């Protein structure tokens, strides 16, 4: 009895042993694929666990160095820095974001001094500095685009001056990539890279991150600048525009609900594509694992290789350290 090419063709032959499966694996993860987001706060010798992100911490700068040392130890080669700004330093124009002695700038200098080979990327966005918790200057309830881009371009230069290898604008204002490239070049930072959050969706999966930085919008939502989850063609358009404006890497964010977007963007640009496996995705997996409903390590690795299969070249993920430890083990 034969059915089509069976029994001559048996897909299971290639799955008979771990060596066989590994030999035919189409995608692989390695620690250098990961970008580890890190949260820094003022103070000494302190760390605070983020309630909605079990096992993930905000560190004072001194303790952040230990954490980065551990990341380096397991083979992670790049970090993406986010700073928690005290309320009294927030205003509508993100003034503190340009302070050369600000927390972000000090963090970048300190990391580069202690770990010169670690790639340091910085979040360029106004929301942690904004009294309204928005990614731009607010006027009569509107988030101004062009005026915000001017601030963002200065912020990029300020991070570059502190020693950032790449700046990563996460604001979704129009035209900011070209403005940043021009400002960076004019200021002499022609080798400072730009990783653009090109297709960043207005997502509920950012909730735990906003807890971590106390950066939730004070009014309304971010739907007039972040993208509608219903759209994929628009993501391709945004990514292509950012590539033309000079982005060195384009990003899709969040990750798991947007694998098709990663694929579409990958097929339409030439620059590397990164994905942000965001805070809510981390929280979701951790919560299920805590309840014993999912195997945490297996679910984590499955999600991460899924990003590569979808077409991501690099992955910003809160699992960077845990996944690297596992990859080193076997
Ligand atoms: N510009 C802010 C910013 N940069 C990265 C994230 C989210 C990251 C995450 O959820 O892990 C956000 C939140 C937001 O847009 O409200
Ligand atoms: Mg855009």
Average pLDDT over residues 3-23: 94
Q: pLDDT tier at 1 (50, 70, 90 boundaries)?
A: low
Closest ligand 1 atom to the C-alpha of 217? 16
The pair of three-digit structure tokens given for residue 316, joined into one six-digit string: 């910003």
Spatial CA neighbour of 228 closest among 188, 172, 147 = 172
- The CA 126 to ligand 2 mean position distance, Å, reads 16
Condensed to tens digits (0 to 9), the pLDDT of residues 191-243 reads: 999 999 999 999 999 999 998 898 899 999 999 999 999 999 999 999 999 99
Q: pLDDT tier at 330 (50, 70, 90 boundaries)?
A: low
Give the mean pLDDT of the chain.
97
Average pLDDT over residues 166-187: 98
Q: Which residues, listed in sequence order, are joined to residue 249 by a DSSP beta bridge? A: 195
Pairing label, strands 166-169, 193-200: parallel
Q: Which of 124, 254, 275, 278 to mutate to test the pocket of ligand 1 (most atoms within 8 A of CB)?
A: 278
Q: pLDDT tier at 4 (50, 70, 90 boundaries)?
A: confident
Question: Treating both helix axes as pointing N-terminal to C-terminal, what angle do 320-329 and 296-310 enclose, rounded to 10 degrees?
Answer: 100
The pair of three-digit structure tokens given for residue 219, joined into one six-digit string: 């009014």
Condensed to tens digits (0 to 9), the pLDDT of residues 267-310 reads: 999 999 999 999 999 999 999 999 999 999 999 999 999 999 99
Spatial CA neighbour of 94 closest among 54, 51, 153 = 153
Pairing label, strands 78-83, 314-317: unpaired
Coil, strand or helix at 58: strand
Condensed to tens digits (0 to 9), the pLDDT of residues 24-64 reads: 999 999 999 999 999 999 999 999 999 999 999 999 999 99
DSSP class of 140: T
Instruction: Give the start-to-end residue ranges of the domains of the chain.
Output: 29-329
HSE-CB at 37 with a 13 A cutoff on CA atoms is 24
Closest ligand 1 atom to the C-alpha of 206? 10
User: Cα(81)–Cα(40) distance, rounded to whole angstroms?
Assistant: 7
The reply to whether 297 sits in an annotated binding site is no
Chain centre to alpha carbon of residue 310: 17
| pLDDT computed for residue 158 by the predictor | 98
Average pLDDT over residues 145-153: 98
The pTM (predicted TM-score) of the whole model is 0.97
Residue nearest to ligand 1 atom 16, measured at CA:
206
- The CA 265 to ligand 2 mean position distance, Å, reads 13
Task: Spell out which residues line ligand 1, taking CB within 6 angstroms.
Answer: 123, 125, 127, 135, 170-171, 206, 209-210, 278-279
Residue nearest to ligand 1 atom 5, measured at CA:
170
For residue 2, pLDDT beyond 80? no
Q: Are 198 and 251 in contact (CB under 8 A)?
A: yes
Catalytically annotated residues: 200, 253
- The CA 14 to ligand 1 mean position distance, Å, reads 41
User: Cα(120)–Cα(78) distance, rounded to whole angstroms?
Assistant: 6
Cα 66–Cα 67–Cα 70 angle in degrees, nearest 5? 90
- The CA 158 to ligand 2 mean position distance, Å, reads 22
Nearest bound ligand to the CA of residue 253: 1
In which element (H, E) is residue 197 found?
strand 193-200
CATH classification of 29-329 is 3.40.50.10800, yes or no?
Answer: no
Nearest bound ligand to the CA of residue 196: 2
Nearest bound ligand to the CA of residue 237: 2
Average pLDDT over residues 240-269: 98
């Amino acid at each position: 009895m034969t059915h089509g090419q069976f029994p001559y063709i048996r897909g299971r032959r290639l799955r008979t042993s771990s060596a066989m499966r590994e030999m035919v694996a189409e995608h692989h993860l390695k620690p250098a694929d990961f970008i580890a987001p890190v949260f820094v706060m003022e103070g000494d010798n302190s760390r605070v666990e983020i309630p909605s992100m079990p096992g993930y911490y905000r560190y004072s700068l001194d303790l952040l160095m230990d954490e980065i040392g551990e990341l380096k130890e397991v083979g992670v080669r790049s970090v993406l820095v986010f700073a928690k700004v005290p309320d009294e330093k927030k205003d509508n124009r993100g003034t503190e974001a340009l302070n050369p002695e600000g927390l972000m700038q000090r963090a970048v200098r300190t990391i580069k001094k202690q770990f010169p080979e670690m790639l340091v990327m910085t979040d360029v966005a106004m929301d942690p500095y904004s009294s309204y918790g928005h990614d731009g200057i607010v006027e009569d309830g509107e988030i101004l685009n062009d005026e915000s881009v001017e601030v963002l371009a200065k912020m990029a230069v300020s991070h570059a001056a502190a020693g950032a290898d790449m700046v990563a604008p996460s604001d979704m204002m129009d035209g900011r990539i070209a403005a940043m490239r021009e400002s960076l070049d004019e200021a002499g930072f022609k080798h400072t890279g730009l990783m653009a959050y090109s297709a960043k969706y207005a997502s509920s999966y950012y909730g735990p991150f906003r807890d971590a930085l106390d950066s939730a919008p004070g009014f309304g939502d971010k739907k007039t600048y972040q993208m509608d989850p219903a759209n994929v063609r628009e993501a391709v358009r945004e990514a292509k525009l950012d590539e033309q404006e000079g982005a060195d890497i384009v990003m899709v964010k969040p990750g798991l609900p947007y694998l098709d977007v990663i694929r579409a963007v990958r097929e339409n640009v030439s620059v590397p594509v990164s994905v942000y496996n965001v805070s809510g995705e981390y929280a979701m997996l951790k919560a299920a694992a805590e309840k014993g409903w999912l195997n945490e390590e297996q679910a984590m690795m499955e999600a991460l290789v899924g990003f590569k299969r979808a077409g991501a070249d690099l992955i910003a993920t809160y699992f960077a350290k845990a996944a690297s430890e596992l990859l080193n083990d076997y």
